[in-house]
Structure 1
Amino acid sequence: METADMVKVAVSAAPYSIDKPYSYLVPDALAAAAVPGVRVMVPFGRGNKESEGLILARVQEPKLPGSKAIRQILDPEPVLDKAGIDLALWMRGRYFCTVFEAVKTILPAGLWYGLREIWSLAMEPETARSTAVGIPGAWQVLDLLEKQGGKADIRVLRDVLGDGAEKPLKAMKKAEILTCETDAKRKIADKSHRMVELAVNTEDAYALTEPKRRSAPARYEVVNFLATAGRTPAAEVSYYTGASSRTLKTMEKAGLIAFSEEEELRVPSLDDVEPGPEIVLNEEQQRAFEEILGRVQAAKPSVTLLHGVTGSGKTQVYLRLVQETLALGKTAMVLVPEIVLTPQMMRKFSSYFGSRVAMLHSSLKMTERYDQWKRIRRGEVDVVLGTRSALFAPLKNLGLIIMDEEQEGSYQSENVPRYDAREVAKYLCVREKAALVFGSATPTVETAWAVEQGSYQKALLRRRYNENALPEVLIA
């Protein structure tokens, strides 16, 4: 039997009962871009309705009759690597969700696509009307499409024609009067701004603009400004020199300046954070720190319960562990419950790790979370601080995961997939040969039992930091 180049795709439209990798042919035009980890548009089901999917693998398989082909590649490069795909497959088996539900949990919301059905006339309006005779409701559809310029979103058709729009649309598609295409648009786009720089050396630029300084003062001012400032955003050049966009375009045509695009990251600024003081641990903290650090250095999967009373200085131990993990050339992740993640804690980590730390939590805008994800993926970040979902940050060479207040119920997801962040963290630590630290004054019963059974290690902090007294308790 003839074999063909095919891909295994996890389809978003497939419910759990029929969730499996579906095989699709790879057209020659999409052969270079159809790699594991990219999202695609594929026909699915009896009606071949277009649905979003993720390529899991590329294989050579027998070409069966009726095999369908992928229709569109949505991503210019993979959004998930092999490790991310393996994590999605593990989550499916552990939490009884579809692979695509796991993928949507792993990826930031800004990367998701919104799908729209666009219905268009496939022939001239007069021909369409004569062909549509006998189809109930067809003329209403045609009247609306003509008003919309020959094409309309399915939502517009439903708003005007009601739920009864589906029947005439399907009948008209079958009669080849209409065509239906699915348009995919990402929720968040990359942001960039236009930059300007001199296209010739400074002496030549002055030589070309100095003779016409009186008749074209704006040109001279632009050259004078760029000669001092160098590559600058176009908006700033116009603001400081008074040159209009038209003047800049004219200068570009003359070969004086050159435009380029530069990425603009929408992340919170932490420039005003001062460097933190040197961390000095007491004897008890130092002992716990050295025990856990030894497990990080061993590069073997381990779980340690850092059991310390409230105010015992667990955060100081966390900071020192992260510092030493980075010194080993590895990365670290610190997870905290939503209620604990305050601006003060974010500033504290920034004071020690500067721009190499990324914050991921629900208070961030969708654009900020997406841009932080991009920074992490590119390797510009060594430390991730955040809530439950920060666990899916694409950190490379992970050496340490810390889960503070591990007894908190917010580590358990209430949405599909209903994952437990503690279990996902253990999976990552086994895969990456990293150390996992559970910090708590009141650990969960499961964690305390695992320590008693010897499955987890234990480090104790019995005294409060600086020997501060515990709060007075009155029994009423």
Structure 2
Amino acid sequence: MFASVIVDVPSKSVNQVFDYRIPEGMQDIVKVGHRVLVPFGRRTIQGYVMDINDTADFDPARIKPIARTLDIEPVLTEEMIVIAKYLAEYYVDQYISVIETILPAALKANYKKIIRLVSDDREAAQALSSLGFSKEAETRRLTAEQLSVLRPHLKSGALAEETVMSQHTRKKTALGVYSLKVPEPNLGRAKKQVELLERIDMSSEPVLVRDLSEEGYSNAMVNALYKKGLIDKVDVEVERDPYSGRVFEYDRPKVLNEEQQHAYDEITSSMDAETAETFLLHGITGSGKTEVYLQVIQKVLEEGRTAIMLVPEIALTPQMVNRFKMRFGDDVAVLHSALSAGEKYDEWRKIKEGRARVSVGARSSVFAPFEDVGAIIIDEEHETTYKQGDRPMYHAAEVAKFRSRRHRCPLILGTATPSLETYARSEKGVYRRLELTERAGTKVLPEVQIVDMSEEHRTGNTSIISTQLHDAIQDRIEKGEQTVLLLNRRGYSNFQICQSCGHVPMCPNCDISLTYHKSNNSLLCHYCGYESAVSRQCDNCAGTDVTFRGTGTEKVEEILRDMFGTDVVRMDNDTTRRKGMHEKLLNHFERDEIPILLGTQMIAKGLDYPKVTLVGVLNADTMLNLPDFRANEKTFQLLTQVSGRAGRHELSGEVLFQTYNPSHYAIELARHNDYRSFYEKEMAFRRMARYSPFYFHVLFTISSEDVRKCLDATSHIHGTLAGAMSGQSIIVGPSPSPIERINRQHRFQILLKYKREPALLDILTALDEEYHEKYKKEGISLKIDVNPLVIM
């Protein structure tokens, strides 16, 4: 028997399956989806079995055997293998890259080269010993001088260089003990030891020593029983549970209103008919979409099937996890990037082993290894975070559609502000649209007002807080209510400027100004991470008249504390970088009743707090100025979403948009929560400019440290496309990217708009392969983004 194996080598030249012979002793063990160790060239590396056949296309005598398997059960299901092939072809990427995206990082192999003693040669052993090593040394840690000492012994064969592999994360174990059931143990008057032995005797499984310690039995007592031969020690596998010690009170299903019940009935009818139907659950903020999700999943579980729930932001996960844990308890597994590699691995194993039937998490949890999926739900489906920015540049919704078809189950896309593409498909009947037009219960949408900041400045108020917003915040503080403020710009100030010569410190690696962060008194690049100390002297003219311009969340936090004399919770990438900080900050805001929550767009959706009655958007224009055709859509979505955080419970809400463009239709229609009018107006512009959803897009981004090579490559790609595309397609560019240089790489881009190009996939594949080789030889990189969400 022969196995077709994808090897763990991220190279286009080996982006194919290789045949390996399955040794006789392994033929009943090796299955499709297994991780295996295989010889590849001079080394042994990890691979994945994609298929098993009785015959091979090559001479069986020349086919190398599999060295060994790495798992008892396959890590890849048959479905995941099919998905990997589909995504690799659709998004023009390598199979191994997609497979490593599908699986948890814990299963990724770590390789290192070592120099090992392979004979009894005394001189070779002494050479290693003289360098401070016993029998082996890691090659990359050796200096040139140390290597020169070992080189003669490598040539003689007494030492050999080998590549060894280890797993990124292992199963976690803890020390346990079990009784040896010795009849009539003689413990004399040691009553505590007798009690401890009886405690261990009672358990049919090994007892963790740490649990015994919590019960009052010391390690010394455990060791005493061990020395007397009454118990034995063993390593016990334990799971890393990010929610251990948390108690979730059961949340009873709520009575659905008429619109919710209609949506539930339509979805469950499709479920009963086992049809792969896609639903757009278009519900205004606070309309009870989550309760519909929960009750649909309840039905799925009652039928013995499983469910996948996706949320767009880590910030949303704590509240969503709480609701799901309160409803479904230990049936819920959580998968998102804020967990450690070990925690994600253990949550993934809970799903793989059938100990969890519901997954809740961000983008990558769409790959949850369930065998029988009954429903897939994507909350806030319009969010760009469902599209991966790095290779493989997949969209979670594409994977969800694929799995929906395979499992013949409904896919539910829930949002208050659908992407234009999704709403257009619902208009054409490709998706079935279900409307929730009223807030659950008796609650109503908050009143939204627009504050013209130009008028504020004319009246002498130059603060980022308008008079109207100031009075509204003060009123909420006095009433003991809470305020959410949105400013989609982190840092203290946007940039530093010399008022004598106009010089602005720029990042040496990127064409972007450095942002001032007061907390660590530094200038920081938000693209490559470059950091520079703040100087009060201009680098250009040596003048001292330097100042800071613009306002970020760090500065606004300071302004709010001084203005209102109150605590402020700030949530942005700077304050939530450490593990668990999202949940910690939100709990602090709710539990300690902090009057103000200030944050970037991570606070704009999903948050649901009873005392939040005021939402203020400090600069509603931020996204309107982006050089992207989706700028208006993103503005409308963000403003509508953040408006929905106010007045979600008993207290009524109020929303204030501060803007310099009070008449812009995206802002004005967000004020009235009028999605339909926005959709029609925006679609007219999209049709005129020939953008999505009227055309499909492919974005080519070419980058190199050498700008001339970058220009030559851009010209070549443009010529290739121009010669191969039909007259119906449109090629925009080549042109410099909006940010022309990032991390020392000059960047140019080409945007292809097309409706139907049968040969496109072959052309994309050929270009990708060509520039994969050029990257290795000349450092020219080509990134192909199929159906991009950001044209930047």
With normalisation by structure 2, the TM-score equals 0.52
SS for the counterpart of 1:466 is coil
Whole-angstrom CA distance in 2 between matches of 1:70 and 1:228 = 45
Match of 2:59 in 1: 63
2:191 is equivalent to residue 184 of structure 1? no
Q: CA deviation at 1:51?
A: 2.7
Quote the Cα distance in structure 1 between the aligned partners of 2:203 and 2:44.
51
**Measured at CA, do residues 394 and 342 of structure 1 come closer, stay the same or move farther in structure 2, by a change above 3 Å?**
closer
Distance 1:278 1:121 in 2: 66
Query: Which of residues 30, 34, 46 in structure 2 aligns to 1:52?
Result: 46
Q: Paired residue for 1:137?
A: none
Contact 1:8 1:55 in 2 (8 A): yes
Go from structure 1 to structure 2 and tell me whether the alpha carbon gap of 1:177 and 1:389 turns closer, same or farther (over 3 Å shift): same
Q: Whole-Å Cα distance in 2 between the matches of residues 196 and 125 of structure 1?
A: 44
Is 2:422 the partner of 1:429?
A: no
* Alignment of 1:19 onto 2:21: no
Distance 1:427 1:324 in 2: 22
Alpha-carbon distance in structure 2 between the residues aligned to 1:235 and 1:412? 43
Greater alpha carbon shift after TM alignment, 270-279 vs 235-244: 235-244
Counterpart position of 2:99: 103
Q: Would the aligned equivalents of 1:341 and 1:387 in 2 still touch at CA under 8 Å?
A: no
Q: Which residue of 1 aligns with 2:268?
A: 293
Which of 115-124 and 391-400 deviates more?
A: 115-124
Q: What are the residue-to-residue correspondences of 1:182-221 with 2, within 5 Å?
A: 182-200=163-181, 207-209=184-186, 212-214=187-189, 219-221=193-195
Q: Which has the higher contact order (CA 8 A, sep 6+)?
A: 1
Aligned: 1:444 with 2:399: no
Matched, 1:401 2:376: yes
Match of 1:249 in 2: 226
The correspondence of residues 77-476 of structure 1 with structure 2, limited to 5 A, is 77-125=73-121, 142=127, 147-157=132-142, 160-161=143-144, 176-200=157-181, 207-209=184-186, 212-214=187-189, 219-226=193-200, 232-237=207-212, 240-242=216-218, 243-251=220-228, 253=229, 256-257=230-231, 259=233, 261-267=235-241, 268-269=243-244, 271-338=246-313, 341-475=316-450, 476=452
**Structure 1 17/258 Cα, relative in aligned 2: closer, same or farther at 3 Å?**
closer
For structure 2, the 5+ residue unaligned runs are 453-792
Change (3 A) 1:153 1:380: same
Residue 348 (structure 1) shift: 1.1
In structure 2, how many angstroms separate the alpha carbons of the residues matched to 1:353 and 1:235?
A: 29
Provide the residue aligned with 1:133 in structure 2.
none
Contact (CA 8 Å) 1:194, 1:261: kept in 2 or not?
yes
Give distance in 2, aligned partners of 1:463 and 1:109: 42
Shift of 1:436: 0.1
8 Å CA contact 2:317–2:361 kept in 1: the answer is no
- How far apart, CA to CA, are the structure 2 residues paired with 1:363 and 1:146? 41
**Equivalent position SS for 2:216:** helix
Look up the match of 1:138: none
Of 28, 33, 37, the match for 2:33: 37
Q: Distance in 2 between matches of 1:358 and 1:286?
A: 27
Listed one character per residue, the Cα deviations across residues 337-381 of structure 1 (whole Å, up to 9, x for unaligned) are 115524222111111101111111122122111111111111111
Q: 1:80 to 1:142 in 2, by over 3 A?
A: same
The alpha-carbon deviation at position 32 of structure 1 amounts to 4.7
Q: Distance in 1 between matches of 2:306 and 2:203?
A: 36
Q: CA deviation at 1:107?
A: 0.8
State the AA in 2 paired with 1:397.
D
Give the corresponding residue for 1:135: none
Shift of 1:259: 5.0
| Range with greater deviation from structure 2 (260-269 or 105-114) | 260-269
Residues in 1 aligned to 2:253 and 2:120: alpha-carbon distance in whole angstroms: 77
One-letter code aligned to 1:317:
V
1:265 maps to amino acid: E
Specify the code of the residue in structure 1 equivalent to 2:364.
Answer: S
Aligned-partner SS, 2:185: helix
Unaligned runs of 5+ in 1: 130-140
**Counterpart amino acid of residue 428 in structure 1:** R
> Following the alignment from structure 1 to structure 2, what is the Cα–Cα distance between the partners of residues 124 and 315?
68
Aligned-partner Cα distance in 2 for 1:88–1:474: 48
Retained in 1: the 8 A contact 2:45–2:165? Answer: no
Superposed displacement of residue 28, structure 1: 4.4
TM-fit CA distance, 1:291: 0.9
**1:468 maps to amino acid:** K
Q: Please give the alpha-carbon distance, in whole angstroms, between the structure 2 residues aligned to 1:439 and 1:296.
A: 17
Alpha-carbon separation, structure 1, partners of 2:197 and 2:64:
58
CA contact (8 A) 2:253 2:295 kept: no
- Deviation larger for 171-180 or 386-395: 171-180
Shift of 1:281: 1.1
CA distance in 1, matches of 2:357, 2:9: 36
Offset at residue 64 of structure 1 (A): 5.1
Cα RMSD after superposing both structures: 3.0
How far did 1:126 drift?
6.0
Structure 1 residue 406 displacement after superposition: 0.5
Q: 1:277 to 1:236 in 2, by over 3 A?
A: closer
Could you say what secondary structure the match of 1:120 adopts?
strand
More divergent stretch after superposition (144-153 vs 187-196): 144-153
Deviations 1:406-446 (A, max 9, x none): 00000000121110101000000011111100011111122
Once the two structures are superposed, residues 304-351 of structure 1 have per-residue CA deviations (whole angstroms, 9 ceiling, x without a partner) of: 101111221111111111111212221111111115524222111111
TM-aligned CA distance change 1:312 to 1:183, over 3 Å: same
After superposition, the Cα gap between the structure-2 partners of 1:29 and 1:339, relative to the gap in structure 1 and judged at 3 Å, is closer
The whole-number CA distance in structure 1 between the counterparts of 2:203 and 2:6 is: 50
Q: 1:329, 1:64 → 2: CA distance? A: 45
What secondary structure, in the 3-state scheme, does the structure 2 residue paired with 1:321 have?
A: helix
Q: Could you tell me how far 1:228 is from its partner in structure 2?
A: 6.5
Contact 1:411/1:420, CA 8 A, preserved across alignment: yes
**Are the aligned partners of 1:120 and 1:145 in contact in 2 as well (CA < 8 Å)?**
no
Look up the equivalent residue of 2:9 and give its one-letter code.
Answer: A
Q: Could you tell me whether the CA contact under 8 Å between 2:128 and 2:134 is conserved in 1? A: no
- For these two proteins, the number of residue pairs brought into alignment is 445
User: How far does residue 38 in structure 1 lie from its aligned partner after superposition?
Assistant: 2.0
Other structure's SS at 1:9 match: strand
Whichever residue aligns with residue 154 of structure 1, its letter is: T
In structure 2, C-alpha distance between the alignment counterparts of 1:172 and 1:454, rounded to whole Å = 73
- Cα deviation for residue 74 of structure 1 reads 2.6
3-state secondary structure, aligned to 1:280:
coil
